[in-house]
Chain A
Amino acid sequence: MSRPDDSGSTVGSDWRAAFDLDGVRVLELTVAWAGPMAGRWLGEFGADVIKIEHPTSRGLAMGSGMAADPSWQRGQLPGPTLRNGIFPDNDPGEHWWNRLGHFNKMNRTKRSLCLDLKAPGGREIFEELVRRSDVVLNNYSPRGVLSLGIDHETLRTINPRIVTVDLSGFGATGPEYDQVSWGPILEGASGLAHATGYAGSGPFKQGLAFPDAVGGLHGTVALLAALWERDVTGEAVHVDASQLETYLQFAGDLCLTTSLTGASPARKGNRAEDLAPQGVYPCRGDDRWLALSVPDDAAWATLVELVGDPALSDADYRSVDGRRAAHDHLDSILAAWTSGQDAHELMARLQDAAIPAGVAMSNEDLVGDPHLTERGFLVTVEQTDARPLTFPGFPVHAAGWQPTVRAAPALGEHNEEILRWLGYDDAAIATLRAAGTVADVPPA
């Protein structure tokens, strides 16, 4: 990868990683989940990702005046004042803005420039960074993009090879472009919350803001494709990505069916049209469940043998149509069989018999899972202002290399090195600090 107008970088050399995106510099102006997720992928692929943060940005939805709760014990839900931060050991510490668990998970392997673009001198710093960068990534609303002056038309006049990625909720155009949204709002707009639910129930949203994850993944795909396109044409490239539209990519089959029949999908719980029985069955313990699918008649015969209940031996059940017709009855027999058993042991037993089964993993299960542990999925990183902490790692394995995973930066941790690289001296940096243009603590 080539970078225009790079006047002697002093910061690129130790940002190399396996995927050879080490020549790429990304300016990330994002909040919440989807945008930071895309930036994190680029960072762990080896790009130099500079997170440009407003001094108040880590205070989103946060209170102030927080103090540790001495009565708190591990495993206990913290009191409301501290709960949002997911602080390690529920202790906000002296610098709570550097101990935010959700932020530190989303923003690994980046550098932080804490910059107020609208303060004196802020715009000049940003524009010089744009000249020296390949990508500007944001997930603000279109109104926010224009307000900050980070729109494509503005930035391409500064750097004619810049790639800009706008990852908004509804896209940059259309009658709803300026609607404020969170992931669950997009689930509603997509028609997919309406399609999800138990048979006979109302609609259900996902337990996490799933469109953010989907948007972050597709935003990464878009960003990499735009870089590829930029290398083909040599010109600036703009990506207008709507998280609503990326979410609907997961339902092309349902969209086609509904468009042809006029009927929206009926809620069917955990059942499938082609697999029967299929369900989520209770196991021993509190809130322990096993997902089980019977993909074909041979697997059914094996399952019947394992369960050992003569009620399953009915000849009608030897075909998927027969099993589907008796699904409720089969569910009750299977639930009685699973309910006294350990979910993990049962998963292993069924999988050993080539029957697809999986524990409904909790976060605790995932952290302690022997398979993920052996594959090195979890990573422990040294945090600024915190003890070493464990996070979900990098889900791609390649022969012969390991990704570079670094802790999330402290607020403004790289202000000085970036400003010096841009040519600012001690006096100029002091002036910027005094004006509040750059900072390493949020304002009181």
Chain B
Amino acid sequence: MRNLTVLDCSTSLAGAYCTRLFATLGAEVIIAEPPGGHPLRGAPPWVTITEDGPVSAAWAYLAANKRSVVAADDATLAPLEARANLVVLSTDGDPDLALARAERIRRANPAAVVTICSGFGLTGPYRAYRSTPLVDWAVGGYLLLTGERQREPLAGAGPWSSYVGGATATLASQAALFRARHRGSGDLLDVSNMEAAAASHQWSITLYTHQGIRKTRWGNRHGEAHHPLALYRCTDGWVVIGAVSRHQWEGLCIATDNVELLIDEALYTPAERFDRMDEIDTLLNPWFAAHSRAEAVQLLQEQRCPAGQVLALDEALRSPQLEARAYWAVPEGMGPDARIPGPPFRIGERTVPTRPAPTLGQHQNEVFA
């Protein structure tokens, strides 16, 4: 998205993720920070790189490729608002404040798209509710589906439900930018993490509207209609397999020396396998327990049964696949071992440099010049 200027006045993870995507796509992204700095500068996890003390890894990642200016008041930002193609705002508990700011920006710059990211949206009974990443996991409907049925539901290891809101804000803003270019006037967009997550379910909501079934969680099994799409323990860790189609089930049975299962025609129906998953896993578990992760995956993939190792993150960082695709970026100033994800996809031959997250107000002079 070259030739675009994005002004990021948000303070939320969703807003920061939205504009990070624009930065990786080649847009000029300027973060407007209060004099005390953006709240994400204090967000965990922290890493220590220099004697100056720990810095936020979240900030180092989300603010990479962006520029920073400091603005103590709205008037300071007026020149930037007037030339931005997209302004990203956020709200947490006070939607009217964000709306008033958006309207002021739109009056000054009718061509700009203004996107407001929030936990719950600008309208409706929950509009003034506050969110955190865990609350986003909960109200978007993901939380209840993960974890053991006998225990409390389980969130993922990061604010990924909030990022679903951010990615949704990105694509909505992109589409609105096409419209603004065509019509010469921008739109005001309202993107909430709750709705973004609720719209990004597999078939949970359809399962209720079509059949009245309340979906629940199934541990490391996938649920009502499929098995095995699950994790299994090997000698040196875990693997995940997905025998969904007929030929994948056949491949699984052959690879794991359970060919007698092929005689049972009922098991060719994935949901029948779910209903009989304990019986199946009793046969599969010893085979996995006798193989290493690498051995199991190789034997299964040879039979075209989807399978992969459950890698620890340090192993994923050394993944030959990601290495071969030059996926990792090395942020400047953080040492030779530092890695963050590079662009999420390759668009043609274009490359976007990875500039480190800015210091507070680092680009004040050049931006306002």
A292 proximity list for chain B (CB < 8 A): 134
Bound together, the chains give a CA A392 to CA B130 distance in angstroms of: 23
* Residue of B with least CB distance to A81: B269
Q: Are B151 and A395 in contact (CB under 8 A)?
A: no
Q: Are B141 and A362 in contact (CB under 8 A)?
A: yes
B183 proximity list for chain A (CB < 8 A): 20
Bound together, the chains give a CA A303 to CA B190 distance in angstroms of: 30
B146 to chain A, nearest CB (A): 4
Q: Are B200 and A213 in contact (CB under 8 A)?
A: yes
Q: Are A204 and B207 in contact (CB under 8 A)?
A: no
A104 proximity list for chain B (CB < 8 A): 206
A101-B203, A218-B167 are known contacts. Are A258 and B213 too (CB-CB below 8 A)? no
Q: Are A361 and B141 in contact (CB under 8 A)?
A: yes
B215 partner, pick from A89, A246, A253, A363, beta carbons under 8 A: A363
Bound together, the chains give a CA A433 to CA B256 distance in angstroms of: 43
Interface 1/0s, chain B 212-226, versus A by CB < 8 A? 111111111011111
Interface 1/0s, chain A 82-125, versus B by CB < 8 A? 01101111100000000001101100000000000000000000
A188 partner, pick from B123, B129, B244, B310, beta carbons under 8 A: B310
Q: Which residues of B, 279-310, contact A by the 8 Å Cβ criterion?
A: 301, 304-310
Is A423 an interface position by the 8 A CB rule?
Answer: no
Is B131 an interface position by the 8 A CB rule?
Answer: yes
Bound together, the chains give a CA A353 to CA B331 distance in angstroms of: 41
A83 proximity list for chain B (CB < 8 A): 224-225, 271, 274
A61 proximity list for chain B (CB < 8 A): 244-246, 270
Interface 1/0s, chain B 113-126, versus A by CB < 8 A? 00000001111111
B133 partner, pick from A101, A232, A262, A272, beta carbons under 8 A: A272
* Residue of B with least CB distance to A207: B145
Is B231 an interface position by the 8 A CB rule?
Answer: yes
Q: Are B151 and A254 in contact (CB under 8 A)?
A: no
Is A33 an interface position by the 8 A CB rule?
Answer: yes
Q: Are B176 and A19 in contact (CB under 8 A)?
A: yes
Q: Are A204 and B274 in contact (CB under 8 A)?
A: no
Is B239 an interface position by the 8 A CB rule?
Answer: yes
Q: Are B346 and A392 in contact (CB under 8 A)?
A: no
* Residue of B with least CB distance to A236: B348
B93 to chain A, nearest CB (A): 7
A259-B317, A291-B143 are known contacts. Are A77 and B213 too (CB-CB below 8 A)? yes
A253-B45, A399-B187, A399-B188 are known contacts. Are A184 and B271 too (CB-CB below 8 A)? no
A102-B203, A189-B308, A278-B134 are known contacts. Are A366 and B120 too (CB-CB below 8 A)? no
Bound together, the chains give a CA A262 to CA B3 distance in angstroms of: 39
Q: How large is the interface on A (under 10, 10 to 19, 20 to 34, 35 or more residues)?
A: 35 or more
Which of the candidate stretches B28-36, B69-77, B319-327 sits at the interface with the other chain?
Answer: B319-327
On chain B, the number of residues with a Cβ less than 8 Å from chain A's Cβ atoms is 166
A377 to chain B, nearest CB (A): 6
- By secondary structure, the B interface counts as mixed
Is A249 an interface position by the 8 A CB rule?
Answer: yes
A372 proximity list for chain B (CB < 8 A): 124, 194-195, 198
Is A242 an interface position by the 8 A CB rule?
Answer: yes
Is B171 an interface position by the 8 A CB rule?
Answer: yes
Is B140 an interface position by the 8 A CB rule?
Answer: yes
Bound together, the chains give a CA A136 to CA B137 distance in angstroms of: 33
B225 proximity list for chain A (CB < 8 A): 83-84
B344 partner, pick from A175, A206, A241, A400, beta carbons under 8 A: A241
A371-B125, A377-B198 are known contacts. Are A191 and B167 too (CB-CB below 8 A)? no
Bound together, the chains give a CA A229 to CA B199 distance in angstroms of: 28
Q: Are A197 and B154 in contact (CB under 8 A)?
A: yes
Bound together, the chains give a CA A80 to CA B125 distance in angstroms of: 40
B304 proximity list for chain A (CB < 8 A): 180
> What are 24 A-B interface contacts by the 8 Å CB criterion?
A18-B179, A20-B178, A193-B310, A202-B231, A203-B310, A217-B164, A221-B170, A229-B2, A249-B163, A252-B58, A253-B158, A256-B57, A256-B331, A280-B155, A293-B135, A363-B208, A366-B205, A371-B124, A371-B125, A371-B126, A378-B209, A391-B209, A393-B199, A398-B187
What 4 A-B pairs are tightest by C-beta distance, nearest first?
Answer: A207-B145, A252-B61, A191-B313, A191-B316
Kindly list 15 other residue pairs between chains A and B, CB separation below 8 angstroms, not including A174-B320, A204-B231, A358-B134.
A21-B178, A88-B210, A180-B301, A185-B307, A188-B310, A225-B174, A242-B345, A245-B325, A251-B160, A253-B61, A256-B334, A256-B338, A293-B134, A361-B198, A370-B124
